[in-house]
Amino acid sequence: MISAWTGRQIRAAEQPLLDAGHGDRLMATAAHGLANAVLRAVRETRGRVYGARLAVIAGSGNNGGDALFAAATLARKGMSTTAVLTSARSHPQALAAFEKAGGTVLRLAAGGDGAGAGADDSAAAAAGPFVTPDEAAALCSRADALIDGILGTGASGGLRSPAKELVERIIGLDAPALTVACDLPSGVSAETGEVSGPVMPADLTVTFGGTKAGLLTDPAAGLAGRVLTVDIGLGPHLPAPELRRLEPADLADWWPVPQRTSHKYTRGVLGIVAGSAQYPGAALLCTQAAAATGVGMIRYLGPQEICRLVNLSTPEAVCSQGSVGESRVQAWLVGPGATGDRDQQARVRDALASGLPVVADAGALDSLPSDLGPQVILTPHAGELVRILAEQDVEVTREQVEAAPSDFARLGAGLTGATVLLKGATTVISSPSGALFTQDNATPWLAAAGSGDTLAGILGALAATVQRDLLAEAGIAEPDHWAAVAAMAAAVHGIAGTEAAAGGPVAASDISRAVPETVRALLELRQDG
Ligand SMILES: NC(=O)C1=CN([C@@H]2O[C@H](COP(=O)(O)OP(=O)(O)OC[C@H]3O[C@@H](n4cnc5c(N)ncnc54)[C@H](O)[C@@H]3O)[C@@H](O)[C@H]2O)[C@@H](O)CC1
Ligand SMILES: [K+]
């Protein structure tokens, strides 16, 4: 499991070490980790380190300090190194180390259009000639490696002039062979992943002390590239993480594997209320996905015509037009395609009132009761979350949700009392307690009709079969159990979908077909064999 913290949490964890006078050591460790990561990446992209052109953009704070110290190390390895300082102030010891190692220092002229105008001449005399944003951008674009050390966890808001103009110009040119963000891409929020203004997309982000929550959340996640975390000894000082991400080993350890004495009822029965005359396909897709994920039995409830179709596509399912009250199940999946049908809507309502775990998708999201519990898992996309929030008197747009998905998933969970799984390039899951998980296992090819029905089926099957004690033993607190189960489903859906897509288009039913093999491969990672 990957744990991540807000910038504020990381800074608070640093404080006791800073108070004890270990600031220099922290920065040296961070810079050493950054330099090593750049060395490895340059070897991979270019082969030879000696003679490679390194450009560093350094801001006024400690983030610029990390970048300059790392660049000093890289200059000593034979890289031809230039630093562009975006402010008249810079970390004095780091700048001195950089110059001593033979690095060239340039100062970014103040102001976008009036290059050079209003610049601080005394600072210029101290530390090298001015360059315009255009000149600096051309230099950065030609580099074999570029380190973005403008802003770190001390940033407030997006980049300001003249760094803003420089980054805009670099984005307009060919990207450098390798861009490495120091701690985080400058201009993204370490707390929420929100982005303000231009941000240089990184191939690699080397982050210090602990992964920043913002780096694992959209939209920043799409700009951070691969994230590498450098340990600087904050471990004992870190609080409970802000956000977690499941890895394959977690899925393997938590997967509900039947025991020798298991039978269909002890494994778990899933009830499904899905489909209508208008949308029969959704019922077929989610039932197929649940069967492929592995469940003791599926009880499907719906109109006679859809029962016939479900029986044909998933003969394992027991289909009827019965009621929720007379169906014995461990969990419900309700809503896919269940719109415009009174009987189906009544079943959805009854399932939501049953107190059992319920996955509420699509049609079930339109008329939610007021007091839900964490065992109810809502699976909206951004537009559906906007409507759920509107029911709670929160007026937001789809664009606002997409700009800060973790904030709004958390708000939705807090207001409804349910667990919220918000679909997106990175899926965000929030427990009503505020605990967050994000999963980025999916391929963009999965953004297609029917993919959500498949996710709902996988999640329904897991909700019916998962063993609570396995998650509790791994440190998942009781109120966050269902958020972790939803994260498992998002991960398996993403992995199976990526396998099925194999770099090309994928039909929703192919995702289900890939699930058993995905689970088999995961189970091979189990520590107990
Ligand atoms: N605190 C520590 O002990 C450690 C900090 N480290 C590094 O230090 C960074 C944090 O350093 P700082 O607190 O100095 O903060 P930053 O380096 O993020 O920069 C803050 C400076 O930038 C200016 N600034 C803020 N917002 C701006 C904006 N939107 N546009 C332009 N300028 C802006 C501020 O005036 C301030 O001087 C971390 O990200 C990390 O890279 C690491 O060296 C590890 C140890
Ligand atoms: K940075």
379-407: pLDDT as tens digits: 999 999 999 999 999 999 999 999 999 99
Confidence grade of residue 266 (pLDDT, cut at 50, 70, 90) = confident
Confidence grade of residue 342 (pLDDT, cut at 50, 70, 90) = very high
Judge contact between 238 and 6, C-beta under 8 A. no
Confidence grade of residue 119 (pLDDT, cut at 50, 70, 90) = very low
| Per-residue pLDDT at 113 exceeds 90 | no
Rg (CA), the chain: 26
Q: Which atom of ligand 1 is nearest to the CA of 157?
A: 29
Q: Which residues line the pocket of ligand 1, CB cutoff 6 A?
A: 14, 18, 23, 26-27, 30, 59-64, 66, 151-160, 182-183, 208, 232
Domains in the chain: ranges and CATH: 2-245 (3.40.50.10260), 261-523 (3.40.1190.20)
Q: Which atom of ligand 1 is nearest to the CA of 91?
A: 14
Q: Which two tokens stand for residue 310?
A: 């479900």
- Which residue, by CA, sits nearest to atom 43 of ligand 1? 27
Q: What whole-number distance in Å separates Cα of residue 450 and Cα of residue 289?
A: 11
Ligand 1 midpoint to CA 62 (Å): 5
- Ligand 1 binding pocket mutation candidate from 151, 165, 199 (most atoms within 8 A of CB): 151
pLDDT at res. 529: 57
Identify the burial level of 361 via C-beta atoms within 10 angstroms of its C-beta, where 0-12 means exposed, 13-18 middle and 19 or more buried: buried
Ligand 1 midpoint to CA 149 (Å): 9
Q: Which atom of ligand 1 is nearest to the CA of 232?
A: 44
pLDDT at res. 261: 82
Give the number of whichever ligand sits closest to the CA of residue 154: 1
Q: Which atom of ligand 1 is nearest to the CA of 153?
A: 39
Mean pLDDT for 481-497 is 98
Q: Which of 275, 280, 267 is nearest to 463 (CA)?
A: 267
Confidence grade of residue 118 (pLDDT, cut at 50, 70, 90) = very low
Determine phi and psi for 216, rounding to 5 degrees.
-105, 15
Confidence grade of residue 123 (pLDDT, cut at 50, 70, 90) = very low
Bind-site residues:
62-66, 148, 152-158, 183, 186, 282, 337, 381, 423-427, 452-453
pLDDT: which is higher, 258 or 59: 59
**Helix (H) or strand (E) segment spanning residue 458:** helix 451-465
Mean pLDDT for 184-213 is 97
DSSP 183-241: SS-TTB-TTT--B-S--PPPSEEEEESSEEGGGGSTTTHHHH-EEEEE--S-GGG--S-
Ligand 1 midpoint to CA 185 (Å): 12
Q: What whole-number distance in Å separates Cα of residue 516 and Cα of residue 290?
A: 11
Which residues are within 5 Å of ligand 2 (an ion), measured at CB? Answer: 63, 148, 182, 186
List C-alpha distances in Å: 131 to 80, 85, 108, 124.
18, 10, 5, 11
Q: Which residues contact 460 (CB under 8 A, 6 or more apart)?
A: 270, 272, 286, 290, 331, 332, 333, 359
pLDDT tens across 207-250, in order?
999 999 999 999 999 999 999 999 999 999 999 999 999 999 99
Residue 282, amino acid: A
List the beta strands (DSSP E) in 128-175: 130-131, 145-149
Q: What whole-number distance in Å separates Cα of residue 423 and Cα of residue 413?
A: 14
Ligand 2 midpoint to CA 171 (Å): 16
- Which residue, by CA, sits nearest to atom 11 of ligand 1? 62
Confidence grade of residue 111 (pLDDT, cut at 50, 70, 90) = low
Q: What whole-number distance in Å separates Cα of residue 121 and Cα of residue 277?
A: 75
What b/e string do you get for 266-278 counting C-beta neighbours within 10 Å, with b at 16 or more?
ebbbbbbbbbbee
Q: Which of 467, 458, 478 is nearest to 519 (CA)?
A: 458
Mean pLDDT for 117-122 is 41
pLDDT at res. 526: 87
Q: Which two tokens stand for residue 141?
A: 């674009």
Q: What whole-number distance in Å separates Cα of residue 45 and Cα of residue 178?
A: 8
Q: Give percent of the chain with pLDDT exceeding 70.
A: 96
What b/e string do you get for 452-481 counting C-beta neighbours within 10 Å, with b at 16 or more?
bbbbbbbbbbbbbbbeeeebeeeebeeebb
pLDDT tens across 393-448, in order?
999 999 999 999 999 999 999 999 999 999 999 999 999 999 999 999 999 999 88
pLDDT at res. 367: 83
Ligand 2 midpoint to CA 184 (Å): 5
ipTM over 0.95: yes
Give the number of whichever ligand sits closest to the CA of residue 65: 1
Beta-carbon neighbour count of residue 161 at 10 Å?
13
Q: Cis ω on the peptide bond leading into residue 219 (within 30° of 0)?
A: yes
- Which residue, by CA, sits nearest to atom 9 of ligand 1? 63
Q: Which residues contact 517 (CB under 8 A, 6 or more apart)?
A: 496, 499
Q: Which of 212, 202, 463, 246 is nearest to 356 (CA)?
A: 463
Mean pLDDT for 360-374 is 94
Judge contact between 220 and 193, C-beta under 8 A. yes
pLDDT at res. 511: 97
- Which residue, by CA, sits nearest to atom 36 of ligand 1? 61
Q: Which residues contact 409 (CB under 8 A, 6 or more apart)?
A: 385, 420, 421, 422, 428, 429, 430, 436
Q: What whole-number distance in Å separates Cα of residue 68 and Cα of residue 30?
A: 11
The three-point CA angle 357-359-365 to 5° equals 125
pLDDT, averaged across the chain: 94
CA–chain centroid gap for 277, Å, is: 37
Torsion of CA 39, 54, 63, 111, to 10 degrees: -160
Q: What whole-number distance in Å separates Cα of residue 439 and Cα of residue 273?
A: 27
Judge contact between 268 and 298, C-beta under 8 A. no
Mean pLDDT for 451-472 is 96
| Per-residue pLDDT at 112 exceeds 80 | no
| Per-residue pLDDT at 110 exceeds 80 | yes
- Ligand 1 binding pocket mutation candidate from 6, 14, 63, 166 (most atoms within 8 A of CB): 63
Q: Give percent of the chain with pLDDT exceeding 90.
A: 92
pLDDT at res. 528: 65
